[in-house]
């Protein structure tokens, strides 16, 4: 893939749709459809065992009961541009990344700002399993069994002041370990943000693992955001800073292509991406497309936060 400098890049050239269903993915999906014969020959024993042996706990109020994607699906088909732009780049290029030791800085309008060792930050929180359907802007989706804790628990722990209206997140910047950061097709480090009420919504989740195991490097180790009613690029990975701010914070994809990626990033099938429809999606491992659901199927839990907003303008 030709890599251009940010100033030379057109928004129409960012993550072109034809990359999403390349030959490798077509072959992989065909293998699944044939009963898994080809997949069985190339899937590692560990990945297969994790998929088969995982027993989710009793269904919680926010869990989907849809069929899970396999551990191999989830860990080999990723968007993580810090490791490269192809879907296989994260698993192929993240082996040198070191997620331990890890610290997270909490800053801004909070009563308890600090730089926390990750282990100390996690101690007060009860780890939960959540099974969420996850939708990517490029019209593909997965169902993933996450492990972690509600973001609201962290917000309450650090006690935001009345001036805190948004929560801003920042990814680690380590070009020596994350080769994609050596290329200026995005402005590094990666940044994201939520409105404070979105952060407090019980669906918002800080993931520390999947399939009952620690997060692999390619999935955002050791700590990532999961907001299942939003598009996947809202799920910032390898978080090192959480800042409580008064004004809407910048977000990486809005900086790169403001005509294509808004701040809210809510799944809305009535708002097409400028280069493709959002009305349908393809679940990884399936051939047939399915209709895209408003708020990715979580409308009953989140729609009230956007009452009165123009969801086509605030995309």
Domain assignment of residue 67, given as a range: 17-306
Q: What is the pLDDT of residues 110-160, one digit of tens each?
A: 999 999 999 999 999 999 999 999 999 999 999 999 999 999 999 999 999
Q: Which of 47-61, 166-180, 258-272 has the lowest mean pLDDT?
A: 47-61
Question: 129 lies in a domain?
Answer: yes
10 located within any domain: no
pLDDT mean across residues, the chain: 88
Exposed / middle / buried, residue 176 (Cβ in 10 Å: 0-12, 13-18, 19+): exposed
Q: Is residue 2 part of a domain?
A: no
**Is residue 234 situated within a structural domain?**
yes
Q: What is the phi/psi pair of residue 282, to 5°?
A: -120, 120
Number of domains in the chain: 1
Q: Enter the tokens of residue 309.
A: 């907003």
| Distances 309 to 234, 254, 274 between C-alpha atoms, Å | 19, 19, 21
In a domain, residue 187? The reply is yes
Quick check: 167 pLDDT over 90?
yes
Asked, for residue 109, whether it belongs to a domain, the answer is yes
Q: How far is CA 279 from CA 267, 272, 292, 309, in A?
A: 10, 7, 5, 20
Residue 5 lies in a domain: no
Q: Report the pLDDT value the prediction gives residue 48, as an integer from 0 to 100.
A: 86
How does residue 313 score in pLDDT terms, banded at 50, 70 and 90?
Answer: confident
Phi, psi of 57 (to 5 degrees): -70, 180
Percent helix, strand, coil in the chain (nearest 5)? Answer: 30, 25, 45
Q: 197-242: per-residue pLDDT in tens?
A: 999 999 999 999 999 999 999 999 999 999 999 999 999 999 999 9
CA distance 159 to 59: 30
DSSP calls for 21-35: T-HHHHHHHHHHHTT
Among residues 245, 88, 61, the alpha carbon closest in space to that of 170 is found at 245
Asked if residue 19 has pLDDT above 60, the reply is no
Provide φ and ψ at 209, rounded to 5°. Answer: -165, 175
Q: In which region does residue 265 sit, left (phi positive, over 0), alpha (psi from -120 to 50) or beta (all else)? A: left
Three-state secondary-structure class, residue 145: strand
Please report, rounded to a whole number, the percentage of residues in the chain having pLDDT higher than 90.
Answer: 77
Please state, in angstroms and rounded to a whole number, the distance separating the CA atoms of residues 202 and 138. 26
How confident is the model at residue 47, as a pLDDT? 85
Q: Is 46 contained in some domain?
A: yes
CATH number at residue 121: 3.90.420.10
């Amino acid at each position: 893939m030709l890599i251009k400098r940010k100033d030379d890049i057109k928004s129409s050239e960012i993550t072109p749709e034809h990359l999403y269903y390349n030959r490798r993915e077509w072959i992989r999906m065909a293998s699944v459809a044939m009963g898994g014969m080809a997949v069985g020959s190339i899937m590692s024993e560990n990945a297969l065992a994790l998929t088969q042996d995982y027993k989710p706990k009793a269904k919680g109020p926010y869990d989907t009961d849809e069929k899970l994607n396999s551990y191999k699906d989830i860990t080999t088909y990723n968007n993580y541009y810090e490791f490269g732009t192809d879907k296989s780049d994260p698993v192929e290029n993240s082996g040198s990344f070191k997620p331990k030791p890890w610290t997270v800085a909490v800053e801004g309008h909070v009563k308890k700002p600090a730089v926390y060792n990750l282990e100390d930050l996690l101690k007060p929180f009860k780890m939960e399993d959540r099974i969420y359907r996850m939708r990517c802007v490029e019209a593909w989706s997965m169902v993933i069994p996450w492990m972690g804790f509600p973001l609201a628990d962290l917000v309450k722990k650090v006690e935001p002041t009345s001036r805190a209206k948004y929560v801003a997140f920042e990814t680690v910047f380590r070009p020596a370990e994350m080769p994609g950061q050596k290329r200026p097709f995005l402005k590094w480090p990666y940044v994201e943000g939520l409105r404070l009420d979105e952060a407090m919504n019980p669906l918002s989740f800080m993931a520390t693992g999947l399939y009952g195991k620690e997060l692999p490097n390619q999935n955002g180790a050791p700590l990532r955001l999961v907001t299942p009613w939003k598009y996947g690029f809202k799920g910032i990975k390898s978080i090192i800073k959480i800042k409580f701010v008064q004004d809407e914070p910048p977000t990486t994809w809005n900086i790169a292509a403001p005509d294509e990626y808004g701040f809210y990033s809510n799944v809305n099938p009535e708002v097409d991406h400028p280069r493709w429809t959002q009305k349908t999606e393809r679940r990884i491992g399936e051939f047939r497309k399915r209709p895209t659901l408003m708020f990715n199927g979580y409308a009953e839990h989140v729609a009230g936060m956007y009452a009165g907003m123009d969801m086509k303008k605030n995309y």
